[in-house]
Structure 1
Amino acid sequence: MLTWPTGIVNEVALAILFYQVQLYADMFLQVFFFVVTIFGWYHWKSNQADVPITRLSAKGIKWYIISQVIGTIILGTVIQQLHIWLPVYLPVPAAYAYVDSFVTVASILATLLLAKKQLENWIFWIIVDIISVGLYLVKGINFLSIEYAIFLGLASWGLWQWRKKLRYA
């Protein structure tokens, strides 16, 4: 149960950090994670039935890829303009608007896939983690790069474990 409130503290701290380094899409992603955390904390029950691991259909994979591309273009375009639209609140232009937006959109899609316990969520997380390690290194947030390198290992392990479970189900 303590992971929910610690998640909220983490999301607030990361939102502040991402504001400071002009990764505005990541900053807004923390708002998404904050809402998901509140929702999860409210609805979480330890006695829920186990949801089976599933795979996306070919049509589902196409839908997620198209959503990723379109979402990145739209969000990147918006993020790139925020300093013009909201100069009082965001006076500095966004850094790496499209890379940051790609990470944000992929993280949201991965979260949706994870909630449905679909194997492909791990592929999205692996891509997010690889890009995030590089992005945070370029921005000089070394400790966060290390954290995402660890997440990369965990996502790779999760993919391997879920594939094993799916194979023997």
Structure 2
Amino acid sequence: MHFFDIENILVTVFGYPLSYVECIGTIMGLFAVWFAAKQHIITWPASLINVTCFFAVFYQVQLYSDMFLQVYFFGISVYGWVIWKMQKQEGKPIQRLSNKQRIQILIWIAALTGIFGYFIQHLHDYFPSVFQHPAAFPYVDSFIAVASIFANTLLARRIFENWVLWIVIDAICIFVYALKHILFISFEYFIFFFMASYGLYEWVKIMKDEKRLSTR
């Protein structure tokens, strides 16, 4: 057994066997969201560890959309790390989307969910040697993946609406991961739901402070 094997159990919590990889990934994910809410750049290295661990977990429980999503998250975490460092030096404030941009994002999410969901649904047919089992919840899982891509991109660019998307995503993830019996990750997303709500509240306060300072 190796570190990334979900059968490599660290401890049993209330009858649930918690693997090393799920535990470390979950802890790093919590750190990443907390520091994002605080606009602290440490969110990005914590995210890199989180997505590496979750890539292994999602592959082993046949949540292939989420597995592919971690590859994107890895890249956007590196991007976010660089962008936040540059924006901090420039003192760039939090941005908001226009109503037109919000509608465009919703349309893109719906369209890409349909396309990606169809691909994921047939992934075991296309690559049977790699994906030996059919994908679980292909369209719901694809929505999570697509919406998360938009949410994390908005977060990397310090755009306020990322928190609204994260609240919706986290609410869905709680149930999907519970149904796949990865209960520690499901519980993590339960915490994420409230942390995203806190992030929304915190960024509203920051924007008010930035607006007040800009009018002086």
TM over 0.5: yes
Alignment match, 1:138: 179
Alignment match, 2:62: 22
1:151-162 equivalences under 5 Å are 151-162=192-203
RMSD: 2.0
Displacement after TM superposition at 1:65 (Å): 0.3
After superposition, what is the alpha-carbon deviation per residue over 1:71-128, rounded to whole angstroms, capped at 9, x for unaligned? Answer: 1101101101100000000010000000100000111000121122222110000011
Identity %: 46
Greater shift, 4-13 or 15-24, is seen at 4-13
Displacement after TM superposition at 1:3 (Å): 5.8
1:94-133 equivalences under 5 Å are 94-133=135-174
Give 1 or 2 for the bigger CA radius of gyration: 2
Ranges in structure 2 where 5+ consecutive residues have no aligned partner: 1-40, 212-216
Q: Is residue 117 of structure 2 the alignment partner of residue 54 of structure 1?
A: no
Residues 3 and 115 of structure 1, relative CA distance in 2, 3 Å threshold: closer
The TM-score with structure 2 as length reference comes to: 0.72
Count of residues paired in the alignment: 169
For 1:84, which of 116, 125, 146 is the aligned residue?
125
For 2:48, which of 1, 8, 29 is the aligned residue?
8
Name whichever structure is richer in strand by fraction.
Answer: 2
Residues 50 and 155 of structure 1, relative CA distance in 2, 3 Å threshold: farther
Displacement after TM superposition at 1:146 (Å): 1.1
